[in-house]
């Protein structure tokens, strides 16, 4: 049992002062008391709010953030960026991935995220040969299980991610990715994509290997995109995952680029969401990442299915994807969550701010999210909608400070000049719309204080190892145009 005492907290029935929150040994909130005394409690100087789930991450890309901002051709695009990213991905070992993810997950905790959904396609290790599998040799791996030779590297790569989550304290929704074609209709993989690939039987074995029972860990899975999978494999993988956990989350990149929509229509005569909705039962287990290019039928389809759209505003802006039709979608009670994807920014507040600003710039109006959700305050509307969608897409039952929920809590610094003189109802507005200086001073995940007064408990060691690695990586891979 741990007791925390906060200067102020946003509980499920509004803001209160001097709030005592008791957390049981499993990290679940057992009581919330306003106007309490701080006896026997750890006093936290901060305004407590529920912490944000980050529902889309490719951890290795953190180490190349900001290194692809130069011109490769006269028409640079998502696709020229992808070639650079493949070059970087090719050299990352399990040890490298662990060091990068340690830094990234720590940064997420410091920026207000309490969980991460890792959309993990960097399978195999650089030195194994997954696509020339041949005879499968048994090899003793995790928990004494027998793992085929073709999966040894993949299990190691996944364990790098799992161990980073354990070290930093962030909750992890691990989403191994099925990726076995380079284009619609099962086109053969390119050489540089082979590292990401498993046949569907091996993929199911990998899921079983990673089905670990821990409080801060949840196994789901992802399909890389419609262009990277074929329908029979989609059904086999869903059935296998459902046998492990009938509620496990399923994520997919979809409709991110116009070219992808056009290719899907040329192949199937259907738009991507239309195709997916016909092929599977879209429901609350699904998280559709990006879903940028939608027509009104598709907006209606997603909203009525109960699925979440995973929007990654800073990455979508960086890659020139386009803007999600947020206003129409929210008007139909559609659900969304946010992710930092390529990690050119690691800040929940910045993702939400850019999401709203993109809409304002195109619609030439203000307070779009507030109006579409019938709220008065835009910051509060953005934050609460993203929490609701994030809880659903991550599978972790936080998202509110109330009895029975996970104690996934962050605090905003009452001493920050950016929060000075703020009435309670405008605190979330100021958090999101008052500049980019971080005001998250404490982060608690499942009852554990991971960031205290702006410092992670293992910050110095994690950052020193990351800096050393990134300097070495610059020598191993060139992202300059060649």
Of the pair 61, 147, the CB lying nearest Zn ion is at 61
Buried-exposed string 17-35: b where 16+ CB fall within 10 A, e elsewhere: eebbbbbeeebbbbebeee
Do the beta carbons of residue 369 and residue 357 sit within 8 Å? no
Q: Which residues lie across from 286 on neighbouring strands?
A: 250
Q: Closest approach of Cβ 134 to Zn ion, in Å?
A: 32
At 107, is the secondary structure helix, strand, or coil?
Answer: helix
Of the pair 224, 405, the CB lying nearest Zn ion is at 224
Please give the structure tokens belonging to residue 415. Answer: 């001493």
Where is 22: in which H helix or E strand?
Answer: strand 14-23
Of the pair 321, 408, the CB lying nearest Zn ion is at 321
Q: Closest approach of Cβ 43 to Zn ion, in Å?
A: 40
Cα 290–chain centre separation: 12
Q: Closest approach of Cβ 61 to Zn ion, in Å?
A: 9
For Zn ion, the binding residues in 324-343 under the rule CB under 5 A are 341
Of the pair 118, 413, the CB lying nearest Zn ion is at 118
Give the residue closest to Zn ion by C-beta: 341
At 450, is the secondary structure helix, strand, or coil?
Answer: strand
Q: Closest approach of Cβ 171 to Zn ion, in Å?
A: 19
Q: Is 290 a catalytic residue?
A: yes
Q: Closest approach of Cβ 199 to Zn ion, in Å?
A: 23
Do the beta carbons of residue 209 and residue 150 sit within 8 Å? no
Q: Closest approach of Cβ 341 to Zn ion, in Å?
A: 5
Catalytic residue among 16, 120, 290, 377, which?
A: 290
Of the pair 381, 386, the CB lying nearest Zn ion is at 386
Of the pair 78, 267, the CB lying nearest Zn ion is at 78
Q: Indicate the length of the chain as a whole number.
A: 482
| Residue 450 vs residues 41, 107, 217, 447: alpha-carbon distances, Å | 17, 11, 16, 9
Work out the number of other CB atoms within 10 angstroms of the CB of residue 148.
Answer: 20
At 202, is the secondary structure helix, strand, or coil?
Answer: helix
Of the pair 209, 341, the CB lying nearest Zn ion is at 341
For Zn ion, the binding residues in 334-393 under the rule CB under 5 A are 341
At 197, is the secondary structure helix, strand, or coil?
Answer: coil
Of the pair 319, 401, the CB lying nearest Zn ion is at 319
Question: What gap in Å lies between CA 239 and CA 248, rounded to an integer?
Answer: 11
Do the beta carbons of residue 333 and residue 304 sit within 8 Å? no
Where is 222: in which H helix or E strand?
Answer: strand 221-223
Under rule CB under 5 A, how many of the chain's residues touch Zn ion? Answer: 1
Task: Choose among 471, 474, 446, 462: nearest CA to 98.
Answer: 462
Work out the number of other CB atoms within 10 angstroms of the CB of residue 82.
Answer: 15
Judging by beta carbons within 10 Å of its beta carbon (0-12, 13-18, 19+), is residue 336 exposed, middle or buried? buried
Q: Which residues lie across from 385 on neighbouring strands?
A: none
At 340, is the secondary structure helix, strand, or coil?
Answer: coil
Q: Closest approach of Cβ 190 to Zn ion, in Å?
A: 18
Catalytic residue among 341, 408, 413, 429, which?
A: 341
Q: Closest approach of Cβ 339 to Zn ion, in Å?
A: 8
Residue 149 φ/ψ region, left for φ over 0, alpha for ψ in the -120 to 50 degree band, beta for the rest = alpha
Do the beta carbons of residue 61 and residue 85 sit within 8 Å? yes
Of the pair 113, 431, the CB lying nearest Zn ion is at 113
Question: What gap in Å lies between CA 211 and CA 241, rounded to an integer?
Answer: 9
Q: Identify the sign of the CA torsion 453, 58, 167, 208.
A: positive
Q: Closest approach of Cβ 118 to Zn ion, in Å?
A: 11
- Residues forming contacts to Zn ion in the complex (CB under 5 A) are 341
Q: Which residues are catalytic?
A: 290, 341
């Amino acid at each position: 049992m741990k007791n925390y005492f906060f200067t102020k907290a946003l509980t499920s029935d509004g803001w209160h002062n001097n709030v005592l929150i008791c957390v049981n040994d499993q990290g679940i909130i057992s009581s919330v008391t306003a106007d309490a005394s701080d006896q026997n409690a750890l006093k936290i100087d901060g305004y407590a709010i529920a912490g944000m789930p980050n529902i889309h991450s490719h951890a290795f890309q953190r180490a190349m953030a900001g290194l692809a901002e130069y011109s490769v051709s006269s028409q640079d695009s998502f696709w020229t960026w992808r070639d650079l990213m493949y070059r970087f991905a090719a050299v990352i070992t399990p040890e490298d991935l662990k060091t990068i993810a340690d830094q990234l997950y720590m940064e997420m905790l410091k920026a207000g995220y309490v969980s991460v959904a890792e959309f993990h396609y960097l399978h195999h290790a650089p030195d194994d040969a997954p696509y020339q599998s041949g005879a499968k040799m048994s090899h003793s791996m995790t928990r004494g299980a027998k793992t085929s030779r073709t999966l040894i590297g993949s299990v190691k790569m996944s364990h790098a991610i799992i161990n980073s989550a354990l070290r930093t304290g962030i909750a992890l929704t691990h989403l191994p990715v099925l990726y076995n074609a380079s284009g619609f209709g099962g086109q053969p993989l390119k050489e540089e994509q082979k590292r990401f690939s498993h046949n569907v039987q091996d993929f199911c074995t990998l899921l079983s290997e990673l089905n670990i029972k821990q409080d801060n860990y949840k196994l789901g899975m992802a399909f890389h995109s419609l262009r990277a999978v074929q329908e029979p494999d989609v059904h086999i993988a869903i059935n296998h995952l459902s046998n492990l956990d009938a509620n496990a989350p399923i994520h997919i990149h979809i409709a991110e680029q116009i070219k992808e929509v056009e290719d899907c229509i040329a192949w199937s005569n259907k738009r991507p969401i239309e195709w997916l909705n016909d092929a599977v039962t879209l429901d609350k287990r699904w998280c559709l990442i990006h879903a940028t290019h939608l027509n009104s039928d598709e907006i209606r389809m997603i909203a009525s299915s109960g699925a979440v759209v995973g929007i990654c505003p800073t990455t979508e802006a960086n890659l020139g994807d386009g803007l999600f039709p947020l206003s129409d979608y929210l008007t139909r009670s559609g659900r969304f969550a946010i992710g930092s994807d390529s990690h050119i920014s690691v800040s929940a507040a910045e993702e939400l701010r850019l999401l709203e600003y993109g809409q304002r710039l195109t619609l030439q109006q203000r307070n779009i999210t507030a109006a579409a959700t019938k709220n008065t305050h835009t910051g509060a509307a953005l934050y609460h909608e993203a929490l609701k969608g994030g809880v659903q897409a991550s599978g972790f039952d936080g998202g509110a400070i109330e009895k029975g929920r996970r104690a996934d809590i962050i605090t905003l610094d009452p001493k920050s000049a950016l929060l000075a003189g703020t009435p309670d109802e405008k605190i979330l507005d100021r958090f999101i719309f008052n500049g980019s200086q971080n005001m998250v001073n404490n982060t608690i995940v499942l009852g554990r204080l991971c960031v205290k007064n702006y410092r992670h408990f293992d910050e110095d060691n994690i950052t020193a190892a990351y800096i050393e690695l990134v300097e070495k990586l610059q020598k191993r891979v060139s992202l300059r145009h060649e």
